[in-house]
Structure 1
Amino acid sequence: MTFFEMTGTVIRSLFKKPATLMYPVRPGKKSSLSRGHVTIDPENCILCRSCQRKCPTGAICVEAKEKTWQIDRLRCVVCNACVDVCPTKCLTMDTQYTPPMTSRAGIYRTPVAGPKKKAPAATVPAAPAAELAEE
């Protein structure tokens, strides 16, 4: 009986579309929910370390003194936790996958601007006391 079951499966497969894609020849379709790798907008990062604390694998390291943000792509599991917790939304999830690496040098370091310093409030010059007395 198993020979006939296998023959039936083979004959049905001849007339169906393949279940897999010819990946290297034709790239696969990516949905909007695809997760490729984490990217950062260094201009908006305030070095708050929320992403570092939330990362379950410890792939993100934020160094406030050196003003750098780094990620170890080999440790990152692309869980999106860092993107969700970022208060300034400077982290995003790119849909493109990280290219294959030939060595374990998967750490990407990005210089960050850091928190923007607020300009001191402009002071209004005080009117001389003589002018106030005349009015």
Structure 2
Amino acid sequence: MAFMTSNVLRNLFRKSSTRMYPVVRRADFEGSRGELYNDIEHCIFCKSCQIKCPSQCITVDKQAGTWVCDPFACVFCGICVETCPTNCLHMKTAWRPVSRRREMITMQGTPPKPKKKAAAKDDTDSKAEAKDKDATGKESGKASETKASGKTASKKTHSKESTEPNKAAAKKSTAKKTTTAKGSKAKSGESKS
């Protein structure tokens, strides 16, 4: 015990090497991931943070305009912060204070009003009217095309009918020529021998 006496006396008169945590806090490290915070005024409620969260601690309701995070389920990975298209999610460097009750981080905001839908309705109405006009014009054009194609088809059938007897006559004449040629060869062969 005599060898410990010098250590004990030294530690009694020195500054403590540990901190009294609730009273004295150490400064947070730069880049540490602490409590999740949403700047709700810039949030568009797109649900990309909810979809990408591996622990499924974030719930977004677009109609109600609410963003809820369960800090006890959050693993502080920061994927939601990286995937946010408007960069409204942030992670504080400080951790949440200790609590005796389970408290959810709930934020209420106003979802953005759809600007494109009103313009899109006007565009779709004008496109639908243009399609109707084109369709009626195309239908009358198709009807005239079918009438014209019907005429050409009937002409083709008449021409086929008129050429069929000619083909038959041509075949008969070639058959007669071949037989006469064979016959003449045979006659000439007989005369030579």
TM-score exceeds 0.5:
yes
Q: Give yes or no for the alignment of 1:97 onto 2:99.
A: no
Alignment RMSD, CA only? 2.9
Alpha carbons 2:55, 2:74 under 8 Å: kept: yes
Answer with 1 or 2: which has the greater Rg. Answer: 2
Q: Which amino acid aligns with 2:65?
A: K
CA distances 1:48-98 after superposition (whole Å, capped 9, x unpaired): 111001111111000112111100111111111110110000101112221
Q: Which amino acid aligns with 1:24?
A: P
Q: Which amino acid aligns with 1:53?
A: I
Using the alignment, how far apart are the partners of 1:93 and 1:45 within structure 2? Answer: 15
Of all paired residues, the percent bearing the same amino acid is 39
Match of 2:82 among 84, 102, 109: 84
Alpha carbons 2:63, 2:111 under 8 Å: kept: no
Q: List alignment gaps of at least 5 residues for structure 2.
A: 120-193
Alpha carbons 1:43, 1:113 under 8 Å: kept: yes
Could you state the TM-score of these two structures normalised by the residue count of structure 1?
Answer: 0.69
Using the alignment, how far apart are the partners of 1:33 and 1:19 within structure 2? Answer: 25
Using the alignment, how far apart are the partners of 1:100 and 1:23 within structure 2? Answer: 12
Match of 2:109 among 104, 112, 122: 112
- Secondary structure (helix, strand or coil) at the match of 1:83 reads helix
Q: List alignment gaps of at least 5 residues for structure 1.
A: 1-6, 122-135
Could you state the TM-score of these two structures normalised by the residue count of structure 2?
Answer: 0.50
CA distances 1:19-66 after superposition (whole Å, capped 9, x unpaired): 643323321121221222111111111111110011111110001121
Q: Which has the higher contact order (CA 8 A, sep 6+)?
A: 1
Higher helix share: 2
Match of 1:68 among 61, 66, 72: 66
The residue that corresponds to 1:128 in the other structure is: none
The residue that corresponds to 1:3 in the other structure is: none
